[in-house]
């Protein structure tokens, strides 16, 4: 009689341990190979702009999306040199960043300059950023690597304040295992159940007006700083799916503040409405109510490219 037969309890325990190890190894391989987990993009932490991408990263994430971060911490496939004249920097939140389901070459920041071979585009959009984060990067930390700047924000970005990294589901250091990343994600979601969304605590005027006024003032300051240095700056307000569907109006307070500050903003909603898109077409442009699908990034790139082309033509190189 063998040892295994003489010790059935120990044998069962050994089989269970081996089976568990095999399941864990299989799960790790599946999470890495098919879901892109285990190698997330990494962020720094900064008191001026909150957080942004750490330079020199490359990973493959969800649905095979290829994400490359260059030497300046921008989503673009090329490293940037010190020459600012041939570069355009896209600023914004997760809409501009594009998420981990969109490859670099599918972002509207890349598609916007596709017909401009002499211009290089870099994407500095960051998940969860608000207007104050963008201001912190450009004005307070003096990050000015380009001649052209395109800021694309949604209306909520004016009510967020300065967003910090702590409490966000992002990583500063690489997790040792894909399973660990997955565990932390579910733990983050479970932990968030003890909180209501920040929008739930938004008060009626004057509290809303104060926070929005602060953000619009900072965006105006950034616009003035860039133009005073001889740079070119365009500002777009990107709509939600509900707004494009005609179910939600523009934010009247923000419209009033834009006029008071003489801030030149372009509502992409005004360019979408004349296109008379059908409901199904509109929904295909969005990944959710705010974030864009690949089709959405392609269309947004087209909506912005005309403005950039005209400006580039008018500039003396």
Segments making up each domain of the chain, as ranges: 3-35, 57-314
Element (H, E) at 132: helix 131-135
Quick one: pLDDT at residue 175? Answer: 82
Quick one: pLDDT at residue 88? Answer: 97
Residue 176's φ and ψ, nearest 5 degrees, are -70, -30
Written in H, E and C, the secondary structure of 46-114 is ECCCECCECCCEEEECHHHCEEEECCCCCECCCCCCCCCCCEEEEEECHHHHCCCCCCHHHCHHHHCCC
- Tens digit of pLDDT for each residue in 167-199? 888 888 888 877 777 777 787 788 778 877 766
Element (H, E) at 126: none
Summary mean pLDDT of the chain: 88
CA atoms within 13 A on the CB side of 236: 27
Q: Consecutive 10-residue runs of the chain (317 residues): their mean pLDDT?
A: 63 70 67 70 95 93 81 96 94 94 94 91 96 98 97 96 89 80 78 75 69 96 97 97 96 96 97 95 96 97 94 74
**Over the range 128-147, which residues count as b (16 or more CB within 10 Å of their CB) and which as e?**
bbbbbbbbbbbbeeebbbbb
Q: What is the DSSP letter of 136?
A: I
What's the CATH code, domain 57-314? 3.40.50.1110
Residue 271 and residue 283: Cα distance in Å, rounded? 17
Residue pointed to by tokens 């063998």 = 2
């Amino acid at each position: 009689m063998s040892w295994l037969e003489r010790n059935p309890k120990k044998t069962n325990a050994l089989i269970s341990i081996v089976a568990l190890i095999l399941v864990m190894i299989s799960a790790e391989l599946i999470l890495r190979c098919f879901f892109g987990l285990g190698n997330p993009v990494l962020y720094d932490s900064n008191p001026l702009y909150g957080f942004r991408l750490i330079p020199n990263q490359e990973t493959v994430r969800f649905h095979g999306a290829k994400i490359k971060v260059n030497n300046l911490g921008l989503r673009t496939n090329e490293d940037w040199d010190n020459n600012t004249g041939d570069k355009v920097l896209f600023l914004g939140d997760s809409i501009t960043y594009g998420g981990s389901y969109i490859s670099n070459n599918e972002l509207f920041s890349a598609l916007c300059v596709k017909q401009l071979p002499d211009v290089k585009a870099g994407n500095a959009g960051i998940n969860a950023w608000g207007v104050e984060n963008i201001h912190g990067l450009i004005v307070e930390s003096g990050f000015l690597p380009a001649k052209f700047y395109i800021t694309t924000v949604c209306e909520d970005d004016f009510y967020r304040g300065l967003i910090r990294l702590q409490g966000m589901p992002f990583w500063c250091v690489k997790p040792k295992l894909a399973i660990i990343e997955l565990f932390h994600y579910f733990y983050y979601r479970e932990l968030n159940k003890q909180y209501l969304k920040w929008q739930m605590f938004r008060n009626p005027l004057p509290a809303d007006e104060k926070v929005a006024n602060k953000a619009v003032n900072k965006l105006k300051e950034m616009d003035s700083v860039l133009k005073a240095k001889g740079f070119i700056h365009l500002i777009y307000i990107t709509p939600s799916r509900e707004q494009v569907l005609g179910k939600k109006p523009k934010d009247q307070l923000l419209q009033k503040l834009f006029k008071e500050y003489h801030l030149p903003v372009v509502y992409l909603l005004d360019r979408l409405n004349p296109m008379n898109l059908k409901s199904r077409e509109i929904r295909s442009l969005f990944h959710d109510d705010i974030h864009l699908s690949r089709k959405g990034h392609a269309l947004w790139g087209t909506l912005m490219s005309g403005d950039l082309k005209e400006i580039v033509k008018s500039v003396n190189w």
